[in-house]
Homo-oligomer: A and B are copies of this chain.
Amino acid sequence: MLREDVTDAIRGAVFEELAAVGFARMSIEGIARRAGVGKTAVYRRWKSKLHLVLDLVAAVAAQGMPAPATGSLYGDVRSVLELASYALRHPVASQVIPDLLVEAARNPEISDAIKAALLDQQQGVAAVVVRAAVERGELPEGSDPDRALDLIVGPLYWRLTVVRGDLPKGYLDDLAASAVRALKG
C-alpha cells in the first residue's frame, strides 16, 4: 500500500516546481528532491512528468466551478470576476496556469486536460449566467456565451498575467460594469 503522506508531498512538490521553473524545465529528480522523497516513490505512482501533471489538472477539474446566481447580470459578472481574480492573483496559480496554457499549445494531452479543467468549466458558467440574463430580459435572445466569456474574463486575464499590472481598488467593479455594457447591445 502506497503511503498517502508521500503521495501528497509529491503532489505539493509538483505544484511548487511547476510554479518555480515551469513544465518544460521541471524534472522528476527536482520534484523528488523538493518533496524529500526518492525517485522510486515517484515512478511507483506515475510514469512520467506528463502523467503527473495530467493527474493534477484532472484533480482540479473534478472540483468543479460554481456558477453564481445573484439575480442580476452585473452581480453574476462581478462574482465571476471575483473568483477569477482570486485565482489569478494566487502566486502559485498565476504562474502555473499561464505556463500550462502555453504548454497546451504544443501538447494535445495537456490541451485536453486544461480544456476540461478550466475552459469547459468557465464556458459552462458563462452559459448559465447568459441564459439567466436572457430569461430576465437583460440580454437579447441568442446572446453568445463564448463571446460573453471573452469580454468578461479577457481583460482581467490580460491585466493580471500579461501586463502583470496591479488591480486598483474598484477595478473589478468597473470591469464588471464595462462588460455588462459591452454585452447589452
Contact = CB atoms under 8 A, between A and B. Distances in A.
A75 interface: no
Integer count of this chain's copies in the complex: 2
Contacts of A119: 162-163
Contacts of A22: 24, 102, 106
Contacts of A95: 105-106
Given A155-B155, A181-B184, 18 more contacts: A21-B24, A21-B106, A95-B106, A98-B98, A98-B105, A101-B161, A101-B162, A102-B102, A104-B164, A119-B162, A150-B163, A151-B155, A151-B175, A153-B158, A157-B158, A158-B158, A181-B181, A181-B182
A99 interface: yes
Given A178-B185, A179-B182, A154 B147 contact: no
A113 interface: no
A82 interface: no
Contact of A164 (B105, B150, B182): B105
A183 interface: yes
Of A119, A161, A162, chain B has the most CB atoms within 10 Å of the CB of: A162
Nearest to A158: B154
Contacts of A101: 98, 161-162
A177 B183 CA distance: 10
A154 B102 CA distance: 16
Contacts of A161: 101, 105
A184 B181 CA distance: 9
A159 interface: yes
